[in-house]
Amino acid sequence: MTAGLEGSRLGKYEVLEELGQGGMSVVYRAIDTQLKRDVAIKVMHGFLAEQQDASERFHREAVAVARLQHPHIIRIFDYSGEDAEISFIVTELVRGEALADLLKRTPVHPPESAVLLTLPVAQALAHAHENGVIHRDLKPENILVGSDGSLKLTDFGIARMLDSHTMTMTGTLLGSPAYMAPEYVEGYATDERADIFSLGAMLYQIAVGKLPFEAPTPHALLKRIATCDYVPPEQANPQIHAALARIINRCLERLPEKRYATAALLVADLDSFLERVGIDADAELRHLLVDPKGFGEGLCGALTTRYLDNGKLALVRNDMQSAIEDFDRVLGLDPDNREVRRILDRLARRRQTRRVLRDVGIVVMGVLLVTVAAAKVVEAVNNARARSTANAVPALAAPTPPPIVPQPRDLNVGFVLTGTGDLFVDDAKEPMKENATGRFVQKLEIEPGPHTVRFVGAKRTALHHFVVNEGVPIDPIVLDVSVPEPRIDPTPKVKTKKLQFNTIQWANIYVDDRLVKENAMGKFSLEVPYGRHTLQFTNDFSRTRSDDITVGDAPVQPIIVDLEPLPARLFILGAPDDAVVEVAGKVAPLNQYNRDQGVEVPLSESGARKHEVVIRHNVTREEILRQTVEFRPGKQQRIEVKTP
């Protein structure tokens, strides 16, 4: 390793002390003798400097970070150059610790704080992706937390520029397995969505308190990641709000096309979540980083009030699912919250009342039918008796009992309704009178307590909150859903643009998840409305391609669709434990994972392709088998090695 540089000079930099080291480099604190400022110098280990691929990775990091200018990405000041005797990168100095160390020392609570920590990292990723840089090793160890409350994404050592050739690896996974995306573990080509998966794993870790993927052996860990086998966050930590769980689960989708298409879309959802719970990300991040425990304790009380208010508003909107999710989170923060329990009890009673009224209605209908039938029988008997005694001497008539007058219901609340619609009191639909005039009065019997009434028309909804007190009259409630006669304006026509496509392979075309063209191939055009859309191109033998486009007045170039074929899988039976396989320019060890899952064979064309397969002993390089095999996208092939 490169060691003992304290007190030495690297160009204009005076090395002061070692700050830490990793598998690729040692980081020192130094001073820029010309600009008189402290800096960090990342010096590559000497034994790695002699390796071409390591030098290229170090150079790639310098180039990658230099093109990025973002408040949450470490700034690069200088680079030694590829031909320097000692390779180093000079960056800004962040006085503090890695996020991983902060999480070990002080677990972050409540889970909403995890969103506040993750948002700036997502913003940094969005900036990197927009500039063509994929990080590929996102984890808490590569995020620096400054003592001043700053947060910086660093260590782009295995980043890949989108305009460069894909890195080839000889059986080696670069990066941290616990945060790797399934397609990376399986050897598929990766894009920005692999970073989104890693960020989702980190968000899960902070919100739940442990990693989503854990296993006793590396092989078992990689298998769990490849199959996305993890406990859903809302089950691992019931304190997690359902909306946050949906964000995490979308990041951790096994198929890249089911994740967020861009980091910018993830940023939008994280922003929206924080706004809904009343957290100002810009104002509160520093407080969280400087005093995580104190911040969490203060946040819990504020969240209780916020979620309670959100739940009430959801009830007003008749959004029962959101209301229940918010009230559930309130009870997670304050299990004895009386107001929420009263609301939930009232909702439960209302549902029970509806069921009882339905059942009682059935019984009453049956009783009425029996009563009517009995009345008919009695009437017939009385008529017969009257005819038989028509000539008899009349007796003194018994006094006629007074008619039974039903007691009126206590219709204690009146509604003056204008327009046509449905009336709901506390989400229960009330029977309506016929209305020919457009305005009428409806009176109801309503129990004491707070209530909400909605009069829902075809185009408008009138809403009113009121309280009924025992024995206290209440003024009529006026609700109007009438719609004034519209002015005669021409209906605006949806503006569209004809987009030109050229598909190299056949494909099904989706616009915003709606199939618009099936089995398309070659040149064709589609009318697409103005605005932002997501295009997807799929077939049975290729990876799904997803493009986000904005259609407007600006010209749009023809869209060339050349889908990446799915890899084939090669299963090798009977090979010794130390064997490696060479196929399609790829060298893969025949470890347990590749034996179980098969070696992935990348294909550059959608049709059949022949490749030479060579199996060797890894140490002696002695050839065991050489055979030409035909591979097809998405299909499997098997080779059996017969040992003497």
**φ/ψ (deg, to 5) at 54:** -65, -40
Task: Give the whole-number percent of the chain exceeding pLDDT 90.
Answer: 41
pLDDT value at position 621?
86
Would the pLDDT of 385 be above 80?
Answer: no
What's the DSSP call for residue 437? Answer: S
- As a whole number, mean pLDDT of residues 510-532 equals 90
Q: Summarize pLDDT for 434-448 with one digit per residue, the tens.
A: 554 455 667 788 888
Q: Are residues 536 and 589 in the same domain?
A: no
- As a whole number, mean pLDDT of residues 424-437 equals 70
pLDDT value at position 172?
39
Q: Place 70 in a pLDDT band, splitting at 50, 70 and 90.
A: very high
Specify if 396 maps to a domain: no
Strand partners, 533: 549
Here the tokens at position 45 are: 């280990």
Better pLDDT: 331 or 471 = 331
Q: Are residues 101 and 235 in the same domain?
A: yes
Across the beta sheet with 96-98, the strand order is 96-98, 143-146, 151-153
Q: At residue 86, what is the residue type?
A: I
**φ/ψ (deg, to 5) at 247:** -65, -45
Q: Are residues 222 and 131 in the same domain?
A: yes
Q: Among 79-83, 202-206, 511-515, whose mean pLDDT is lowest? A: 79-83
Would the pLDDT of 379 be above 70?
Answer: no
The closest of 193, 72, 191, 157 to 123, measured between CA atoms, is: 72
The closest of 191, 189, 197, 164 to 64, measured between CA atoms, is: 164
Q: Place 455 in a pLDDT band, splitting at 50, 70 and 90.
A: confident
CATH number, domain containing residue 49: 3.30.200.20
Q: Are residues 153 and 258 in the same domain?
A: yes
Q: Are residues 77 and 101 in the same domain?
A: no
Q: At residue 349, what is the residue type?
A: R
Specify if 393 maps to a domain: no
Q: Among 103-107, 350-354, 462-466, whose mean pLDDT is lowest? A: 350-354
Specify if 71 maps to a domain: yes
Q: Place 2 in a pLDDT band, splitting at 50, 70 and 90.
A: low
Q: Are residues 59 and 35 in the same domain?
A: yes
- As a whole number, mean pLDDT of residues 312-330 equals 89
Strand partners, 567: none
Cβ burial of 153 (10 Å; 0-12, 13-18, 19+) is buried
Better pLDDT: 261 or 346 = 261
Q: Which residue has the tokens 């990641």?
A: 225
Q: Place 3 in a pLDDT band, splitting at 50, 70 and 90.
A: low
- As a whole number, mean pLDDT of residues 598-623 equals 86
Q: Are residues 218 and 165 in the same domain?
A: yes
Specify if 406 maps to a domain: no
Would the pLDDT of 359 be above 60?
Answer: no
Q: Are residues 176 and 237 in the same domain?
A: yes
Specify if 59 maps to a domain: yes
Here the tokens at position 539 are: 């077939």
Asked if 25 and 44 count as a contact pair (C-beta separation under 8 A), the reply is yes
pLDDT value at position 619?
81
Q: Summarize pLDDT for 549-572 with one digit per residue, the tens.
A: 999 988 888 999 988 888 888 999
Q: Summarize pLDDT for 164-180 with one digit per residue, the tens.
A: 333 333 333 444 688 99
Q: Which domain holds residue 596?
A: 568-640
Q: Place 369 in a pLDDT band, splitting at 50, 70 and 90.
A: very low
Q: Summarize pLDDT for 389-400 with one digit per residue, the tens.
A: 444 434 334 444
**Residue 75: partners with Cβ closer than 8 Å, 6 or more residues away:** 65, 69, 91, 92
- As a whole number, mean pLDDT of residues 112-120 equals 97
Would the pLDDT of 264 be above 50?
Answer: yes
Q: Among 151-165, 245-259, 371-385, 515-529, whose mean pLDDT is lowest? A: 371-385
Which of 80-94, 254-268, 310-324, 351-365 reaches the highest mean pLDDT? Answer: 254-268
Specify if 401 maps to a domain: no
Average of per-residue pLDDT values in the chain: 82
Asked if 159 and 134 count as a contact pair (C-beta separation under 8 A), the reply is yes
Q: Place 196 in a pLDDT band, splitting at 50, 70 and 90.
A: very high
CATH number, domain containing residue 148: 1.10.510.10
Would the pLDDT of 35 be above 90?
Answer: yes
**φ/ψ (deg, to 5) at 119:** -55, -50
| DSSP run (H or E) holding 309 | helix 292-316
Q: Place 282 in a pLDDT band, splitting at 50, 70 and 90.
A: confident
* Domain end point (choices 257, 284, 311): 284
Report the distance separating Cα 235 and Cα 246, nearest Å: 12
Domain count, the chain: 6
Would the pLDDT of 612 be above 90?
Answer: yes
Report the distance separating Cα 285 and Cα 594, nearest Å: 43
Would the pLDDT of 181 be above 60?
Answer: yes
pLDDT value at position 176?
66
Q: Are residues 552 and 597 in the same domain?
A: no
Task: Give the whole-number percent of the chain exceeding pLDDT 70.
Answer: 82
Cβ burial of 604 (10 Å; 0-12, 13-18, 19+) is exposed
Would the pLDDT of 470 be above 80?
Answer: no
Specify if 230 maps to a domain: yes
Would the pLDDT of 39 be above 60?
Answer: yes
Q: Are residues 578 and 523 in the same domain?
A: no
Would the pLDDT of 129 be above 80?
Answer: yes
Would the pLDDT of 614 be above 90?
Answer: yes
* Domain end point (choices 375, 396, 429): 375
Q: Are residues 51 and 147 in the same domain?
A: no
Would the pLDDT of 72 be above 70?
Answer: yes
- As a whole number, mean pLDDT of residues 206-213 equals 96
Would the pLDDT of 586 be above 60?
Answer: yes
Q: Are residues 116 and 244 in the same domain?
A: yes
Here the tokens at position 436 are: 């020919």
Would the pLDDT of 315 be above 90?
Answer: no
Q: Whole-model pTM above 0.75? A: no
pLDDT value at position 156?
75
Specify if 113 maps to a domain: yes
Q: Which residue has the tokens 């040992």?
A: 643
* Domain end point (choices 328, 353, 375): 375
CATH number, domain containing residue 504: 2.60.40
Better pLDDT: 279 or 409 = 279
Better pLDDT: 356 or 26 = 26
